A and B are shown apart, each in its own frame.
Chain A
Amino acid sequence: MASISLKDLVKTYGDVEVLHHVEGEIQDGELIVIVGPSGCGKSTLLRMVAGLETVTSGEISIGDKVVNKLEPADRDIAMVFQNYALYPHMSVRENMAYGLKIRKISKDEIDRRVQEAAEILEIGAYLDRKPRQLSGGQRQRVAMGRAIVRNPQVFLFDEPLSNLDAKLRVQMRLEIRKLQQRLGVTSIYVTHDQVEAMTLGDRLMVLNGGYVEQFGTPIELYDRPATVFVAGFIGSPSMNFLPVEASGGTLALANGATLTGGTQASGKVTLGVRPEHLVQDDTGEIRITVQMVEQLGANTLIHGLLEGSDTEFVASAAGHVTAQAGTLMSFTAAAEDLHIFDATSGKRIDA
């Protein structure tokens, strides 16, 4: 078990810098999710920790050992790949034992560890099968098993669930979480799925274009997003953004109505408000022209255009709400649910 520390990490390919001065401290036993859109550098970062990519500058330490120059095998890590990367010609048992065999661990010890991991993952019944005879979910478990038997200090997961169907993904997500808590191994998990990130991670590192946008607990990210990008990325459906004019603690909307925002900022700012924080109120300041209504059962999504502008807007109301396209609906939101961001830099402006 170990902590991981990333100091001023930079990665360049030729002249292109793909990771810019990434910093992060990961505590012993934590599960960190690195999340971001495709091409944001999240897999590159993970592969740098694994030792599969070189570090251009900066420092990666596992425990109190700087591992920049160490081979992957010497870093005491285990990795689960997106396509599992099981050796197709070896049985499940051989796949799990391969790394131990190379480390010249005694046969009895290997058998014991494989058996133990197989019990934890409930794959004992197919230890002697080849990977091609297994379903996607079973292969996923074998890949995890291969990581567990190594008894490493760190688990690295590279989008391990993206090849599974939706239902299995939810199930495996919970299992990974339970397993990680039970084993208490420090883990880094890469995904592009924000729901997966929110449910799995102790803390989330949101990457965008090679920059760390925010690094914090899921609730912090949800309640106090540091940038417009994080605010839009975390939460589903994503946050509504509208340009407003701030002055003296009030925010003027495009339709002329004003909200009490409790901000000291003035001038043009971006107001963010989550669909689920909008409360239907006939005297509300936020009025939208309804375009489409999505009935999801537990709640209803109302899509429309903000009055007086062509900003698209989504509101989420609990239960069943009926609304005709073309009618006007009014909403209000509590002052603490309004997020104010700088209009140009996209950074959060706190009250």
Chain B
Amino acid sequence: MVENRRILGIVSHLVLILGVIMVALPIWITFVASTHDAVRMTQAPIPMLPGTHFFENFKQTLFGAGLSGSEGAPVWRMLLNSMAMALMIAFGKIAISLLSAFAIVYFKFPFRMGFFWMIFITLMLPVEVRILPTFEVVANLGMLNSYWGLSIPLIASATATFMFRQVFLTIPDEMLESARIDGAGPLRFFWDILIPLSRTNIAALFVILFIYGWNQYLWPLLITTDTDMTTIVMSIKQMLEAAEQSPQWNIIMMTALLAMIPPVFVVVGMQRLFVQGLTETDK
């Protein structure tokens, strides 16, 4: 590592540059594609430098009907749907798993470990596995084509419960005892001590869960038939197939670009807390 050999330096730089290109090139192409008009995008070779139609495409994608000739919702509506779904999933998951981890760690009740293992086992059951019964339940509850239907089935989270359990286990018992002597009841302890102490973990989890929610594809595809309820991630795929003519790459790429922006903001905005949450061990 500390060796300062020329060859080694060159090789490691080459590897790093190659890595950057592999990650960044598709994003660059997406961006370039969103700046040309539809006709240019059908010609080979594909352009590698930005064109001049960025604002035009931007306007048509965000506020127009998206693809010309289709009756899809405007992209701002899809962004809103995606945002609502991702936020509901992230907040819902965090709230529920905080509470269930709190119960499992700090309360003695019959079958406590039984419940913990039941939650833990559901880790092996992602949405895709239980998709039919879940769909049945959501349909019977009349939650198709609603934000509730989009988010509630994805809210229960074994991963987050498990993670908060581990976080709570690192908090020394004396903290609870001290709070008890100070006269704090269970809920006070939860609000005043546990939540502030898990703040960085909550932030880290929020980032992960927001992106998880944002990137949901299969579930929204199943339960939304109303175009007003479609989310942006699923609509990108639909745009490819919906149009009768050749795909309008400029609009599709602009949509993809827009779909990337909120997760990027969440990650950048919470980066400091996120990193702290993953690395901090000192309680």
A→B interface (CB under 8 Å): 50-52, 71-73, 77-79, 81-83, 85, 87-89, 98-99, 102-103, 132
**A102 and B181 contact, Cβ closer than 8 Å, known pairs A85-B174, A89-B196:** no
B-side contacts of A81, CB under 8 Å: 174, 177-178
A-side contacts of B126, CB under 8 Å: none
Asked if residues B183 and A85 are in contact (CB atoms below 8 Å), the reply is no
B→A interface (CB under 8 Å): 172, 174-175, 177-184, 188, 192-193, 196-197, 199, 282-283
Asked if residues A79 and B183 are in contact (CB atoms below 8 Å), the reply is no
Q: How far is the CA of A281 from the CA of B199 in the complex (A)?
A: 71
Q: How far is the CA of A89 from the CA of B193 in the complex (A)?
A: 8
Asked if residues B172 and A83 are in contact (CB atoms below 8 Å), the reply is yes
Would you give the shortest CB distance from A86 to chain B, in whole angstroms?
8
Q: How far is the CA of A103 from the CA of B199 in the complex (A)?
A: 26
Asked if residues A99 and B193 are in contact (CB atoms below 8 Å), the reply is no
Choose from B172, B180, B197, B282 the contact partner of A72 (Cβ within 8 Å): B180
8 contacts between A and B (CB under 8 A): A72-B180, A72-B181, A73-B182, A79-B177, A82-B174, A83-B174, A89-B199, A102-B182
Q: How far is the CA of A72 from the CA of B181 in the complex (A)?
A: 5
Q: How far is the CA of A311 from the CA of B268 in the complex (A)?
A: 73
Q: How far is the CA of A88 from the CA of B192 in the complex (A)?
A: 11
3 tightest Cβ-Cβ pairs between the two chains A and B: A73-B183, A99-B182, A85-B174
Q: How far is the CA of A165 from the CA of B149 in the complex (A)?
A: 60
Q: How far is the CA of A65 from the CA of B77 in the complex (A)?
A: 67
**A85 and B193 contact, Cβ closer than 8 Å, known pairs A73-B183, A102-B182, A103-B183:** no
**A89 and B183 contact, Cβ closer than 8 Å, known pairs A79-B178, A81-B178, A98-B192:** no
Would you give the shortest CB distance from A100 to chain B, in whole angstroms?
9
A-side contacts of B188, CB under 8 Å: 102
Q: How far is the CA of A88 from the CA of B178 in the complex (A)?
A: 12
B-side contacts of A79, CB under 8 Å: 177-178, 181
**A87 and B183 contact, Cβ closer than 8 Å, known pairs A98-B192, A102-B188:** no
**A102 and B180 contact, Cβ closer than 8 Å, known pairs A83-B172, A87-B193, A88-B283:** no
Would you give the shortest CB distance from A196 to chain B, in whole angstroms?
20
B-side contacts of A52, CB under 8 Å: 177, 180-181
B-side contacts of A85, CB under 8 Å: 172, 174-175, 177-178
Asked if residues A87 and B177 are in contact (CB atoms below 8 Å), the reply is no
Q: How far is the CA of A201 from the CA of B114 in the complex (A)?
A: 48
Asked if residues A98 and B175 are in contact (CB atoms below 8 Å), the reply is no
Would you give the shortest CB distance from B203 to chain A, in whole angstroms?
14
A-side contacts of B175, CB under 8 Å: 85, 87
Q: How far is the CA of A129 from the CA of B182 in the complex (A)?
A: 20
Would you give the shortest CB distance from A215 to chain B, in whole angstroms?
26
B-side contacts of A99, CB under 8 Å: 181-183
Q: Which residue of B lies closest to A82 (CB)?
A: B174
Would you give the shortest CB distance from B176 to chain A, in whole angstroms?
9
A-side contacts of B174, CB under 8 Å: 81-83, 85
Additional 13 contacts, C-beta under 8 A, given A72-B180, A87-B175 = A50-B181, A51-B181, A52-B177, A71-B180, A73-B180, A73-B181, A73-B183, A77-B181, A82-B174, A85-B175, A87-B179, A89-B199, A99-B183
Q: How far is the CA of A85 from the CA of B176 in the complex (A)?
A: 9
B-side contacts of A78, CB under 8 Å: 181
Q: How far is the CA of A81 from the CA of B193 in the complex (A)?
A: 17
Q: Which residue of B lies closest to A147 (CB)?
A: B181
Asked if residues B172 and A98 are in contact (CB atoms below 8 Å), the reply is no
Q: Which of B178, B180, B196, B283 has the most CB of A within 10 A?
A: B178
A-side contacts of B172, CB under 8 Å: 83, 85
B-side contacts of A50, CB under 8 Å: 177, 181
B-side contacts of A88, CB under 8 Å: 197, 283
Q: Which residue of B lies closest to A84 (CB)?
A: B174
B-side contacts of A87, CB under 8 Å: 175, 178-179, 192-193
A-side contacts of B199, CB under 8 Å: 89
Would you give the shortest CB distance from A114 to chain B, in whole angstroms?
14
**A89 and B197 contact, Cβ closer than 8 Å, known pairs A81-B174, A81-B177, A98-B192:** yes
Would you give the shortest CB distance from A53 to chain B, in whole angstroms?
10
Q: How far is the CA of A85 from the CA of B175 in the complex (A)?
A: 5
Would you give the shortest CB distance from B281 to chain A, in whole angstroms?
13
Would you give the shortest CB distance from A13 to chain B, in whole angstroms?
15
Would you give the shortest CB distance from A92 to chain B, in whole angstroms?
14
Q: How far is the CA of A102 from the CA of B188 in the complex (A)?
A: 9
B-side contacts of A82, CB under 8 Å: 174
Would you give the shortest CB distance from A201 to chain B, in whole angstroms?
23
Q: How far is the CA of A51 from the CA of B178 in the complex (A)?
A: 11
Would you give the shortest CB distance from A159 to chain B, in whole angstroms?
12
A-side contacts of B177, CB under 8 Å: 50, 52, 72, 79, 81, 85
Q: Which of B172, B192, B197 has the most CB of A within 10 A?
A: B192
Q: How far is the CA of A72 from the CA of B183 in the complex (A)?
A: 7
